[in-house]
Amino acid sequence: MDGIERIELPTPFGVGTVNCYATCGDGLALVDPGPDAEDTFEALDAGLADLGYDLADVERVLITHEHMDHFGGARRIQADAGADVLAHRVAAERIADPDGHFDREQAFFAPFLVSMGVPEEVAEAVTGLPEPYAKFHEPVDADRVLEDGDVVDVGGDRALEVVHVPGHAPGQVCFASTGDDLAFTADHVLMDITPNPLLTLAPDGKGDVAPADAERTRSLPQYMDSLARVLDVDVSRGYGGHRETIEDLHGRVRETIDHHEERKEHVAELLAAAGPTTAYDVMGELFPNLPTTETFAGMSEVIGHLDLLEDEARVEIDEEDGEVRYRLR
């Protein structure tokens, strides 16, 4: 990579390592510095040293989205190096108050999951932020708030266009450089992994959430639209947030779209066999050995495909005694 180097960072999370990218030129910029963890910073220090830099040289930190394995360490670099932090408007709102956002999500999604058939004690457990996770991020105020179509100068005559691609997260962006034939795709498109468009609170027009009027995202339909948008970006390589470089970005996007189309039809088959049923029961059929700790991710997946079927007018949805049931038309 000409002037772009991948630094693989350890994380304390099940996802494993996260990719931080250093754009080296007239100035040093980092794309996603990883979580706020000592071993992460040690690996980042070592990776930068191999390139002839240290943390004090960082001028900009670009955040692709608001998940702590990507933004958690940004505040420390901002404070220690005087680096500017850049994030999309929605992500900027959430990384400025991550704990408040988690609290609002728990208040919303615990009863929501119960309405989808999840036992109450399970819903309460899986919507809370586990205590050990709370220490791996620090709130950070973005120095520049980005919008779709903005251009970020990262030095060395390299400019990155902001492509807003909500789905995996509402504030998710890709940073694209047609001149370099690449895009930093973060968790929007990954090699060998199909990202899960997680349920989250839908932002209002200003990027924050009004608790009294909170609604959930329709994450998977949104994600599918965002995948299609990447096909219009004239680059062939993708640098994902995890794993290796995607050498055929558009091909990988099409594979991901096909995967979700196939899973949608599988969910339709399960509904046809079951009759009126809850999303939680569908999850049990689709992922029979799923650990309880993965219930939120599993429910996000199932509800996303039910949303796709609903958008195609292929399901009927009924609610009785606070429980929502789906039936194939």
Q: What is the CATH number of the domain that holds 181?
A: 3.60.15.10
Does 73 fall in a domain?
yes
Does 329 fall in a domain?
no
CA-based nearest residue to 172, from 189, 155, 160 = 189
The per-residue pLDDT for 196 is: 86
Does 46 fall in a domain?
yes
Strands (E) in 124-250, as ranges, are 144-146, 151-153, 159-164, 173-177, 182-186, 237-240
Total domains present in the chain: 1
Global confidence as pTM: 0.93
C-alpha gyration radius of the chain: 20
CB-count exposure of residue 157 (10 Å: 0-12, 13-18, 19+): exposed
DSSP alpha helix (H) spans, 163-208: none
Give the range of the structural domain holding residue 48, as residue numbers without chain letter.
Answer: 4-103+131-257
**Tokens 């002037």 map to which residue?**
3
Does 237 fall in a domain?
yes
Using CA atoms, how far apart are residues 313 and 146, in angstroms rounded to an integer? 36
The per-residue pLDDT for 129 is: 61
Does 231 fall in a domain?
yes
Using CA atoms, how far apart are residues 266 and 185, in angstroms rounded to an integer? 28
Does 203 fall in a domain?
yes
The per-residue pLDDT for 133 is: 59
The per-residue pLDDT for 110 is: 94
> Which mean pLDDT values do the consecutive 10-residue runs of the chain (329 residues) have?
86 91 89 95 96 94 96 96 97 93 90 96 84 73 98 87 97 95 97 91 62 82 97 97 96 97 98 96 96 94 98 96 95
Does 16 fall in a domain?
yes
Does 21 fall in a domain?
yes
The per-residue pLDDT for 212 is: 58
